Structure 1
Amino acid sequence: MFATAARNFVEEVDQGGLLIPVSGLNDTINLLTVVVKRKRFWFWQKAKYLPTDFILNDILTGDTPIKPVVLETDFIKYDGTYGDKISGSIEANILDKSNLNVEGQDSSKLKSSFGNLKKEEVEVQKLLRDSKGRLLDMSHDLVQQTMENHRQVFGIVKERILTTQLCSVIEEVQQSGQCGGGFDFCRPKGPKVTLKENGSLTKDSNVTMEIPISTTIAYALIELEIKHDGHFGLCLMSGTDGGFEVDGPAGEELMAVSRAHLNSSENKHLREAELERLRDHFNLLSALPAATRSSLLQHITNVMENRDAVSSLQQVLEQMCHDEKPDLDKGSATDSQKQNIQAILDLLEKSEGAKSAQGNQSTSALTALHLVVSAIDELPHECHAILVTCCNLTELQTLEQLVHCMSGNGELTLDSTGQAALTEDIFEKTKNLFAFGHMSLERDEDTVKTEMHSQTGHHALALCIAIKGLASLAKEG
């Protein structure tokens, strides 16, 4: 709940910038706190940040601590309200003898009242002077454990956004459902019997979380470039990666490949190639038994109704991809959301034999689903809210066509079926959805033109992967 509020705040005030939302109230974020930045499973995923219990002085050699100059400024006053409303109904008539009507509606609202926020930041020039010639203690346990994984680097907190007053985060959830039906039947030479049944279920919850004064909401880092002997430099330029010095050409090549992938993802002309490389994953999902695909899509749609649940599912799948035992209690998913996640894991276990080969690599159902869920997890909150309403066969097929158009020549001519499917309502919804990936749609009668803006970041690729993955699960047959 707090993590979602912090993430919404960052998306509003610094989307695509340097601020990192705090992932939990347990995180202690002070200036010069050492944070481990971990690169993720897929190159286009945002890095994961793990705050430690140490500050820079704790891992330096020598007895003279660095004393930074701290600048304080007023930031903004922030109050945000985010809400989703999902409803649906089913009505059936059976041979004019019975009818059944089922209606359901879920609504949620998250209100973040952070009030007046301030910014604390380190004077970087003085920090640069004070750190010149200083050495990290390379025997320190934190340094040793971080070095073991080449995907991890050190960063230190250079600025933070924090509260100046007691504030709150309030979550209101309302779930309601109604079922009504009538059944008519006649016995031979007997009276007509009518049975009617109506039932309803309503579940409300209202949770208020009080946030103390001086709670960090978001922060920014300076990454460290660390030599074998403990000398380190501050990565001052935006986009400059830190890391540990590696031995030999193999290690250097590994770092170069990682950076090349990140750079290539910014090139709009490579989107089609990126999606083509992932084709095997989508094909494997569409080749699963129809009942398995249908159940997976339904459970994933349920999970998508709550962003924290998506993050919990992504975390569990990533643990499994690293051959770790999945831990459903680590995330912030509710009990009902955990049931959906567990159902997805059960379906994956039944499909564990499903594999396909692409070149010299093997793709499993687990890897393929992890790809799709990871892409969904990267999308902004508003994008989730729209995408979850599109999880049906007709709309996903239409979205998939537009993805092919976006990664191809940018123009799609609709046949009569396509024109009927792309109603004005669906087109406007799709247009808004694609806008979150910095992509635009224009329609001229039976032709749709798409355009990808030059600076799209990873949102465009993540959205295309999410759409193609969900569409693979919705395939007919």
Structure 2
Amino acid sequence: MFAIATKNFVEEVDNRGLLIPVSSLNDTIALLTVVVKRKRFWFWQKPKYLPTDFHFNDILIGEMPINPDVSEADFIKYTGTFGDNIQGSVDAAFVKANVNLEGKDSSKLQSSFGSLKKDEVDVQKLLQDCKDRVLDMSHCLIQQAKEKHKRVFGIVKERILTTQPCSVIEEVQQGGQCGGSLSSCGPKSHKISLKENGSLSKDSNITMEIPTQTTIAYGLIELDVKQDGCFVLCLMSDTNGGFEVDGAAKQGLLSVSGTPVHTSEIGLIQQELVRLKDNFQLLSGLPASIRSSLLQQITELMQDPPAISSLQKVLEQKYLEPGLGDVRPTDSEQQKIQGILDLLVPSQAGQSTSILTALHLIISALDEMTQDCLEYLRICSNPTTLRTLEQLVQCVSENKEMPLSSAVLTEDVYINTKHLFSLSNVSLKKDGNVVRTEIKHPQGNLPLVLCIAIRSLASLAYCG
């Protein structure tokens, strides 16, 4: 609940992606706190940030502590409300039976953080203070981080704090009604009649009180660490830190699938879709009944972003990268997760990893999307619309246009699709008898993530 509220806050106030939402009230984030950044399975996934119990001074050699100059400033006053409403009904009449079903599901998350302030380190003075300083490479935190794959050190340079007691409120309402009648006449004119009307409702209202001086988001400076403990502060947002390996100069970052980070946006999308082709083929090669059930369950999962995150962690920690830690989904999340895993975990262990990697690909792409983006994608996740979306992905990756005659693009579908693509920094325009796509903001991986999600879902719908 707190993690969703801080994530929503960061998405609203920081479109450059420099702020990191605090995921747990148990995390103590002070200026110059050491945070471990863990790179993910796919290069386009946002990294995970693990705050430690250590201050920057704790891992430096020498007794002279660094005491940074800190500036304080008012940030913003923030109140956000996020939610959705789902309602539906079914009426069915048979020769000897009538059935009526109604359902309603609504949820609302309100974050009232109030007036916020920002603490920020004077970076120029910090540079001076760090001159000729060396990290203690024998420190247990550094030793453990070096042993793990894809770890980077960062120190907190700024943080957003509450200035007054505030709250996060979650309201959930679930309700349903069913009614029906059944009659039967036997050959001896015996008559049985059954009438039943019932209702089920479940409401919850949870309020979390947040104390003053609680950090809800923070920014980092990454460290580029040499083997001898010398380090450089990475001041540019596009400069990455890390540990020097075997004394050799650090090479350019590579994705798990081998794609260089520094590539033109369109070229990157095209290359990555080609590299992931085997995963798409694995999904489209599943039996039709499994593909249909999997598409349905994943579509339903899009209404529950925390469950998507939990499934992604389960796949990563249990099957793809064991030893990363343990994840504990809630009971409702566990039920959804297990239903999906039961469809895909085969009896032959030799096939398990590849199929689960393909599932991890879909879920990881969905986990990178905002809640609004997930909602529009859910609306579009039927086989006919996915076929059109897949054609549009080809337009994006090959910088081409699509004839309107080749797609089922009704006005409603076009509006929803336009919103979906816009939320991922891709513009969609009708121009005469064609549809054109254009990447609006080259920075970031949102267009690539959207293309991967659509291609994966289309593979389950067997669209191409």
TM-score (norm. length: structure 2): 0.92
Q: Secondary structure at the match of 1:241?
A: coil
Shift in Å at residue 93 of structure 1? 4.3
1:369-395: per-residue Cα shift (whole Å, max 9, x none)? 001100000011211222223333233
Answering whether residue 336 of structure 2 is matched by residue 335 of structure 1, we say no
1:64-94, CA deviations, whole angstroms, 9 ceiling, x for partnerless residues?
Answer: 1111111000000000001122234444444
The question of whether the paired residues in 1 share the 8 Å contact of 2:37 and 2:152 is answered with: yes
Query: Which of 333, 340, 346 is matched with 2:342 structurally?
Result: 346
2:259–2:272 CA contact under 8 A, matched in 1: no
Corresponding position: 1:77 with 2:67: no
1:318-467 alignment to 2 at 5 Å? 318-319=316-317, 320-324=319-323, 327-329=326-328, 333-350=329-346, 355=351, 364-415=354-405, 418-419=407-408, 422-443=409-430, 447-467=434-454
Change (3 A) 1:408 1:186: farther
**CA separation of 1:302 and 1:197: change in aligned 2, threshold 3 A:** same
Matches within 5 A, 1:197-346: 197-247=196-246, 252-253=250-251, 255=253, 261-264=260-263, 267-319=265-317, 320-324=319-323, 327-329=326-328, 333-346=329-342
| Separation in structure 1 between the aligned mates of residue 246 and residue 397 of structure 2, nearest angstrom | 39
Alignment of structure 1 residues 155-166 onto 2, 5 Å: 155-166=154-165
Partner Cα separation in structure 2 for residue 241 and residue 476 of structure 1: 39
> Is 1:288–1:354's contact at 8 Å kept on the other side of the alignment?
no
Q: Distance in 1 between matches of 2:180 and 2:281?
A: 41
Tell me if the contact between 2:308 and 2:363 (Cα under 8 Å) persists in the aligned partners: yes
CA contact (8 A) 2:252 2:260 kept: no
Q: Distance in 1 between matches of 2:165 and 2:344?
A: 45
2:32 is the alignment partner of 1:32? yes
| Residues 328 and 338, structure 1, Cα contact 8 Å, conserved in 2 | no
CA–CA distance in 1 between the matches of 2:324 and 2:58? 33
Aligned counterparts of 1:354 and 1:174: Cα–Cα separation in 2: 44
1:191 Cα deviation from its structure 2 partner: 6.5
Partner Cα separation in structure 1 for residue 86 and residue 441 of structure 2: 34
Cα RMSD, aligned residues only: 2.5
Looking at structure 1, the residues matched to 218 and 54 of structure 2 have their Cα atoms a distance apart, in angstroms, of: 16
Looking at structure 2, the residues matched to 326 and 220 of structure 1 have their Cα atoms a distance apart, in angstroms, of 25
Instruction: State the partner residue of 1:359.
Output: none
**Structure 2 CA distance, aligned partners of 1:456 and 1:221?**
19
| 1:417-472 C-alpha deviation (Å, 9 max, x unpaired) | x43xx322221111111101111112357532222225251111111111221222
What are the superposed Cα offsets for residues 88-126 of structure 1, whole Å, 9 maximum, x if unpaired? 4444444x4434333322211100000000000000111
Residue number in structure 2 paired with 1:469? 456
Matched residue count: 462
Q: Could you tell me whether the CA contact under 8 Å between 1:316 and 1:326 is conserved in 2?
A: no
Q: Which one-letter code corresponds to 1:298 in the other structure?
A: Q
After superposition, the Cα gap between the structure-2 partners of 1:391 and 1:34, relative to the gap in structure 1 and judged at 3 Å, is: same
Partners in 1 of 2:174 and 2:139 — Cα distance? Answer: 51
C-alpha contact 2:292 2:461 (8 A) present in aligned 1: yes
Q: CA deviation at 1:253?
A: 4.4
Partners in 2 of 1:463 and 1:51 — Cα distance?
29
User: What's the counterpart of residue 64 of structure 1?
Assistant: 64
Partners of 2:429 and 2:435 within 8 A in 1: yes
Change (3 A) 1:468 1:183: farther
C-alpha displacement of 1:300: 2.2
Preserved contact between residue 352 and residue 365 of structure 1 (Cα < 8 Å): no
What is the SS of the residue equivalent to 1:28? coil
Q: What is the CA distance between 1:22 and its match in structure 2? A: 0.6
Distance 1:351 1:83 in 2: 40
Separation of aligned partners in 1, 2:72 and 2:435: 50
Distance (Å, rounded) in 2 between the aligned partners of 1:181 and 1:466: 41
State the identity %. 61
- What are the ranges of 5 or more consecutive residues in structure 1 without an aligned counterpart? 356-361
Deviation at 1:274, TM superposition (A): 1.5
* Of 119-128 and 175-184, the range deviating more from structure 2: 175-184
Q: Is the 8 A contact 1:438 1:456 kept in 2?
A: no
Write out per-residue CA displacement over residues 134-186 of structure 1, whole angstroms, 9 at most, x where no aligned residue: 11110000000111124111000000000000000001111122223333443
Q: Report the Cα distance in structure 1 between the residues aligned to 2:459 and 2:325, rounded to whole angstroms.
A: 25
Q: Deviations over 1:10-52 (max 9, x none)?
A: 0000023311111111111000000001111001111111100
